[in-house]
Structure 1
């Protein structure tokens, strides 16, 4: 209440604000109560708030502005401040900071049941006797300060190395996964006639532009199921290299 009056007293005056809001807001201060509150010495809570609010703002900024009430409360306790969880929430409101919200789930695989689907030539047997016999492709995403970055990569199952990759802000087949496949085909050191290209049922991998490119390089297309955790496990060795892929892209 006092803060509200302080904000508007120069425009409307204390007497008018208190008289108008007295009937509209239950328990609103009278002009006499306002002046008494302004003349009253600062309470221990107010003095503690004045010292803690800048500290909360500083700690929040030092931790990339992502800490919520739970982590901020634990951090303040570690710093030696005797504060409660509710008090931490109030201090964060006073400091004008808040924790980052959990983002919406991102779907990198969008199956399209109307598109003809190649047979599964792998049957979850993710082994290969030699290089360029089995490539497995997948898409993941990485949260960045500028938004989500989608990463498409192609892994040679024999060596468990990423042989093609691409980073983009879109999931479009001709922009994201196709460029990863082109890199893999361009850097291949031998023929691809015995190659099986395996992916899931995502619409990016079943698009005409992508499947035509698989046939064009001489490989045989193979698909598992959309977002299958068992199929995704096959490229886990390559997906661990995604940070290095992003670093190379920058």
Structure 2
């Protein structure tokens, strides 16, 4: 309402208040509050400055629980919910901790493909053996999952993709990129991965069959029969 009066000063304050049925005392109280912020608003400003300092000193890692703990240790009386609100309003967030559960969890109901590699990560020619794996990369915005497929012959990455979720769609997308970038002959290529639930999904198995690629499952981070070559970890 104060904005309306400011935009149309020629109308007169009393006329506007009378038409809107707003007491003049209410209007002038609003005006006073604009000039003199209330105590809670001033306190929020002070707390936000302290929170920003603590968050910056932590390297952007601390979330609201840790920030609240630091404030409490420094003798600042403030509720945790208030800290959460102020951090949210200022766009501050901490780094989510790494999950303790592995991202290659095995699905006990899934049918596993045989291990056609048996720790021999060598190949006589390109596009004969691809080794696929998932890796978590911690970032300030949270964990990012990297899915990659490497050719055992050249040790080069055939395709890779990232996602915020380590699911079957991520490994399937990586496979699609690999198939599109290489001319693999049906019946000549083996796709090797671990026993993670992403690699035992029906959608991935179906795509491998359609492409004429044999599925192999077993250990991924193992030695090759040629010690001078790097393993496909």
TM range (shorter): 0.5 to 0.7
- CA gap of 1:146–1:124, structure 2 versus 1, over 3 A, is same
What residue number does 1:163 align with? 158
Counterpart check, 1:234 vs 2:231: yes
Could you tell me which residue of structure 2 aligns to residue 218 of structure 1?
A: 212
TM-score w.r.t. structure 1 length?
0.53
Unaligned runs of 5+ in 2: 1-38, 40-49, 63-69, 77-93, 224-229
Is the alpha carbon distance of 1:209 and 1:101 closer, same or farther for their aligned partners in structure 2, counting shifts above 3 Å? closer
Q: Provide the C-alpha distance between the structure 2 equivalents of 1:100 and 1:169, rounded to a whole number of angstroms.
A: 14
Query: What secondary structure does 1:210 align onto?
Result: helix
| Partner Cα separation in structure 1 for residue 132 and residue 221 of structure 2 | 14
- 1:38 maps to which residue? none
Give the conservation status (yes or no) of the 8 Å contact 1:136–1:234. no
| Structure 2 residue 140 is matched with structure 1 residue 145 | yes
Conservation of the 8 A alpha-carbon contact between 2:131 and 2:193:
yes
Counting only pairs closer than 5 Å after superposition, residues 100-111 of structure 1 correspond to structure 2 as 103-111=98-106
CA contact (8 A) 2:149 2:160 kept: yes
Q: Output one character per residue of 1:168-225: Cα deviation in whole Å (capped at 9) or x when no partner.
A: 112221x200000000000004524311110011111111100111111111110005
Match of 1:94 among 60, 64, 74: 74
Question: What aligned pairs does 1:1-250 form with structure 2 within 5 A after superposition?
Answer: 57=53, 61=56, 64-66=59-61, 93-94=73-74, 103-173=98-168, 175-225=169-219, 229-230=221-222, 234-236=231-233
CA–CA distance in 1 between the matches of 2:210 and 2:96? 45
For the 8 Å contact 2:172–2:204, the answer to whether it is kept is yes
Which position in structure 2 is the counterpart of 1:51?
Answer: none
1:105 Cα offset (Å): 2.3
Q: Distance in 1 between matches of 2:210 and 2:95?
A: 46
* C-alpha separation in 2, matches of 1:95 and 1:207: 53
Q: How many residues are matched?
A: 156
Instruction: Show structure 1 runs of 5+ residues with no match.
Output: 1-9, 11-53, 68-89, 237-250
Gap change, CA 1:95 and 1:184, over 3 Å in 2:
farther
TM-score after normalising by structure 2: 0.56
| Partner Cα separation in structure 2 for residue 113 and residue 145 of structure 1 | 34
Deviation at 1:125? 0.3
Gap change, CA 1:179 and 1:102, over 3 Å in 2 = closer
